[in-house]
Amino acid sequence: MLYNSTRNTNVRINASAAIKQGLSEEGGLFLPESIPAVSLEQIEALSKLSYPERAKYVLGLYLTDFTQEELDDVVSVYNKERFETDSVAPVYKLNQRTFFLELWHGPTCAFKDMALQVLPRLLTKSAKKNDDGKEIVILTATSGDTGKAALEGFKDVEGTKIAVFYPVSGVSNIQKLQMVTQQGDNVGVCAVEGNFDDAQTGVKKIFTDAEYKKELSDKGYVFSSANSINWGRLAPQIVYYFSAYCDMLAGGEIQLGEKINVVVPTGNFGNILAAYYAKNMGVPIGKLICASNQNNVLTDFISTGEYNRNRGFFTTASPSMDILISSNLERLLFELSGKSAEVTGEWMKQLTEAGKYTVPDEIKIKLNDLFWGGYCSDLDTALTIDDTYKKYGYVIDPHTAVGKNVYDQYLTETDDATKTIIASTASPYKFSKFVNESIGISIADKDEFQILEDLCVASGIKIPKSLAGLKNAEIRFNSVASKEALKEYVDSIL
Ligand SMILES: *Cc1c(COP(=O)(O)O)cnc(C)c1O
């Protein structure tokens, strides 16, 4: 299996080269030349296997230059110690037709663990295969979830170092505690004066500083990022849609070949794109339902065919979806345009220059055939959390609630009786303040840990050990830097 770039189809490289490089030179994203097909018989066979075995099969179809032993090592991260459950990504049945795919049992309690636990192994193996031998230095700016998930993924991984920068004002207390108490000998965490954009700008400046890159290269280091556009992050996300279908099949919820719908709370379009790949590989998936918060650029795109980022930016209760440029959409556009690098590149150019582009009718028809889009306000997010709790005793986080709300809108409009999986992307504990307020538990005068305890009583779900343990964890990092001085911080950890 070889990989093209969305902006240059003459690029044809191995999976490991695509993963190591991350982004193609001309700015395009890597994607497989063809989508491997999986038969229903194979899906039935997978339904009898464990999560790591399913992962090995699906990843093996894409990462064809990895050996069986390498794949075994890669999927071995999907274990009970890291994911607190044997099934890794369990399916929770809410009612006869609604199911939640719980993707948050990993070490940082959000779905990014599903990919960021395996990415370090993919990356170090890819670097070795491409005969580089340099130590990989990961730099990441984070608005909360990604940074911690990357730290947990890369901690003590041989041949790597990682520095994470978070905005002083901009992450929740729990998120900050998660990062500043990070364990591991190869990690660094530094606060940046300013907001997320300042942190991001500071990191980008290092990435584009040719002189600094050369200096570090001479010392045996090479920069890389754990960004969600890396194919090494997308491929592991395809696995859990197979796994969910297999679990429903094994549990007698569906017949082999029966279609299911999938709802995904969406930001950068990575998670829902993985569902699109699963569908195209042969998982019987009907509609892909794209759920947004108040930053509803994708909802508008699906309904009008115009992608327009020239609009106000909202800080919402589902912060990991506060995004106006959904980077992974570029891969879908490439596929829908009949793999035209020229057309895709032109739209991306318009997006950079004018902040918008419009796809022609024939593409919009394809888009609407595959996707249904909707969005949800913070108020409705809170009401949905409350309603789901009152009706079913099941507590969901704000991102997942956006998915549930948009699914309810879809049902109102279509009355589609197809069984449906909603991707549950974070543990309610990760956003416990908003969740508790939504279900009517007072948070006044309570510290973070009391709020977790209260939610435990209400939900009956165990507090994840990684969050409970924060209470007594040692603070290891207290550096604060201006966005101009991030280089000095990187130097200090190398
Ligand atoms: C990152 C994230 C999302 C959005 O996923 P994309 O792949 O960027 O669309 C949704 N929910 C949570 C909790 C996240 O951390």
DSSP 89-117: S-EEE-SSSEEEEE---STTSBTTHHHHT
Q: How far is CA 180 from CA 24, 142, 337, in A?
A: 33, 13, 45
Q: How far is the CA of 387 from the centre of ligand 1 (A)?
A: 23
* Bridge pairing between strands 91-93 and 98-102: antiparallel
Rounded to 5 degrees, what are φ and ψ at 149? Answer: -65, -40
* Residue 202 CB–ligand 1 contact under 6 Å: no
The whole-number pLDDT of residue 379 equals 98
Q: In the predicted model, what is the mean pLDDT of residues 205-232?
A: 88
The whole-number pLDDT of residue 364 equals 98
Model pLDDT for residues 100-155, shown as the tens digit of each residue: 999 999 999 999 999 999 999 999 999 888 877 789 999 998 877 889 999 999 99
pLDDT at 408 over 90: yes
The whole-number pLDDT of residue 295 equals 96
Q: In the predicted model, what is the mean pLDDT of residues 72-97?
A: 96
Question: Which helix or strand (DSSP H or E) is residue 374 part of?
Answer: strand 371-375
Q: How far is the CA of 23 from the centre of ligand 1 (A)?
A: 20
The whole-number pLDDT of residue 224 equals 85
The whole-number pLDDT of residue 445 equals 94
Q: Using CA atoms, how far apart are residues 385 and 296, in angstroms rounded to an integer? A: 20
| Residue found under tokens 């290891």 | 476
* Residue 399 CB–ligand 1 contact under 6 Å: yes
The whole-number pLDDT of residue 144 equals 74
* Residue 398 CB–ligand 1 contact under 6 Å: no
Q: Percent of the chain scored above 90 by pLDDT?
A: 84
The radius of gyration computed from the CA coordinates of the chain, to the nearest angstrom, equals 22
* Residue 404 CB–ligand 1 contact under 6 Å: no
Cβ contacts of residue 400 below 8 Å, gap of 6+? Answer: 100, 265, 422, 423, 424, 425, 426
pLDDT at 203 over 90: no
Q: State the average pLDDT for the chain.
A: 94
Q: In the predicted model, what is the mean pLDDT of residues 360-389?
A: 98
Nearest CA-CA partner of 267 in 241, 235, 238, 228 = 228
| Residue found under tokens 């990604």 | 146
Model pLDDT for residues 4-34, shown as the tens digit of each residue: 999 999 999 999 999 988 889 888 999 999 9
The whole-number pLDDT of residue 386 equals 98
Nearest CA to ligand 1 atom 4: 267
Nearest CA-CA partner of 438 in 486, 395, 485 = 395
Which band of pLDDT confidence, cut at 50, 70 and 90, is reported for residue 257? Answer: very high
Ligand 1 atom nearest the C-alpha of 145 is 15
Q: Specify the higher pLDDT residue, 437 or 201.
A: 437
Ligand 1 atom nearest the C-alpha of 266 is 9
CA atoms within 13 A on the CB side of 452: 18
CA atoms within 13 A on the CB side of 423: 31
Ligand 1 atom nearest the C-alpha of 271 is 7
The Cβ of residue 346 has, within 10 Å, a number of other Cβ atoms equal to 14
Which band of pLDDT confidence, cut at 50, 70 and 90, is reported for residue 197? Answer: confident
Q: Using CA atoms, how far apart are residues 494 and 489, in angstroms rounded to an integer? A: 9
The whole-number pLDDT of residue 405 equals 98
* Residue 110 CB–ligand 1 contact under 6 Å: yes
Q: Using CA atoms, how far apart are residues 299 and 26, in angstroms rounded to an integer? A: 29
- For ligand 1, mutation pick of 318, 320, 430 (most atoms within 8 Å of CB): 320
The whole-number pLDDT of residue 106 equals 96
- For ligand 1, mutation pick of 196, 271, 396 (most atoms within 8 Å of CB): 271
Delineate the domains of the chain, giving CATH numbers in brackets. Answer: 79-109+232-430 (3.40.50.1100)
Ligand 1 atom nearest the C-alpha of 323 is 8
| pTM for this predicted structure | 0.95
Which token pair is 442? 């007072």
* Residue 145 CB–ligand 1 contact under 6 Å: yes
Rounded to 5 degrees, what are φ and ψ at 109? Answer: 70, 20
The amino acid at 423: A
